């Protein structure tokens, strides 16, 4: 009897849960998008460094609480020396592209907010309840749909599921 195997669809992402604990993550940018990226990295127990001339209120709070290291200046190439992962969240697309090219030359995974062709990976829409984490991806094609699906899944989970 011959076995049958399903054919891959292709075009998807390799979905993994990245172990970022104690890993140096560099975030370039100090606005609301950067704050979201920082929060995600802190949730994963990463060691976060932010490079930005100014910080939004949330990132200022995180710097004051010593949750992040902040360098109050523009990005410098040497900032990559200790980074294992880089997240750019700046409005200058040309600089994001330059940073992504530097990262690729050093084999450092990079995500450039809102510039899909520069990203080695995308952020998913997530729900967390202690140890349980649910993530929905549309490969950055339909973030609103991913958020809607995530909300439906989260609403179906009993509160405290992650404590079981």
- From 7, 79, 114, 129, the catalytic residue: 114
Helix, strand, coil fractions of the chain, as percent rounded to 5: 35, 20, 45
For the question of residue 92 being annotated catalytic, the response is: no
- Find, among 136, 129, 125, 126, the residue nearest to 157 by Cα: 129
| C-alpha atoms less than 13 angstroms from C-alpha of 100 in its C-beta half-sphere | 21
Contact status, residue 104 vs residue 110, Cβ threshold 8 Å: yes
* Catalytic annotation, residues: 114
């Amino acid at each position: 009897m011959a076995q049958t195997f399903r054919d891959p669809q292709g075009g998807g992402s390799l979905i993994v849960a990245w172990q970022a604990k104690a890993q140096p993550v560099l975030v370039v940018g100090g606005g609301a998008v950067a704050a979201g990226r920082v929060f995600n990295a802190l949730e994963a127990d990463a060691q976060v460094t932010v490079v930005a001339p100014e910080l939004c209120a949330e990132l200022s709070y995180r710097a004051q609480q010593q949750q992040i290291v902040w360098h109050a200046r523009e990005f410098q190439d040497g900032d990559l020396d200790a980074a294992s992962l880089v997240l750019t969240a700046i409005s200058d697309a040309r600089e994001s592209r330059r940073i992504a090219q530097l990262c690729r030359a050093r084999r450092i995974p990079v995500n450039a907010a809102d510039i899909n062709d520069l990203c080695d990976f995308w952020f998913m829409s997530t729900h967390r309840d202690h140890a349980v984490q649910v993530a929905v991806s549309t490969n950055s094609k339909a973030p609103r749909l991913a958020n809607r699906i995530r909300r439906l899944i989260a609403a179906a989970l009993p509160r405290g599921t992650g404590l079981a």
